[in-house]
């Protein structure tokens, strides 16, 4: 069987969980969130990093920050999770579904 996902385990997970529990902050902007944001800022050179709890939330954030609005067309894959299009439809944008082919597995202007 091909696994749907394979967790990346470093051996430090127990320590990280204990740190989070001891901090008293198990959600939101806790010590682990700040640590990951700082690390991603250092790696990417970004001035700000925002973490989300799901891809759906990340897509909502992208739609808001990109300024997509009523009547804008947004190209989305035709085979995807519903939130891919919903993030933009909720802001009045029009999804334009694109597909891939056996010969060209990436979305292109022709698909």
* Mean pLDDT, the chain, integer: 90
Which string of DSSP letters, residue by residue, matches 57-87?
HHHHHHHHHHT--TT-EEEEESSS-THHHHH
pLDDT at residue 108 above 80? no
Confidence of residue 90 (pLDDT cuts 50, 70, 90): very high
pLDDT at residue 93 above 80? yes
Sign of the CA dihedral 23, 24, 30, 33? positive
Place of tokens 């740190």: 19
pLDDT for 53: 87
pLDDT for 111: 65
pLDDT for 100: 79
| Residue-range domain boundaries for the chain | 1-51, 53-102
pLDDT at residue 78 above 90? no
**Nearest-CA neighbor of 23 among 13, 33, 36, 12?**
33
pLDDT in tens, 17-60: 999 899 988 888 888 899 999 999 999 999 999 999 899 999 99
Does this model's pTM top 0.75? My answer is no
Beta strand extents in 3-52 (DSSP E only): none
CA pair distance 11, 83, nearest whole angstrom: 33
C-beta of residue 63 within 8 angstroms of C-beta of residue 85: no
């Amino acid at each position: 069987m091909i696994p749907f996902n394979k967790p990346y385990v470093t051996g430090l997970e127990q320590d990280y969980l204990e740190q989070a529990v001891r901090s008293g902050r198990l959600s939101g902007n806790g010590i682990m969130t700040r640590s990951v944001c700082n690390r991603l800022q250092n790696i990417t050179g970004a001035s700000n990093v925002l973490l989300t709890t799901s891809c759906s939330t990340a897509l909502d954030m992208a739609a808001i920050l990109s300024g997509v609005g009523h009547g804008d067309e947004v190209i989305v894959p035709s085979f995807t999770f519903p939130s891919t299009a919903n993030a933009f439809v909720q802001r009045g944008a029009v999804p334009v579904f694109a597909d891939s082919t056996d010969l060209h597995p990436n979305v292109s202007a022709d698909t």
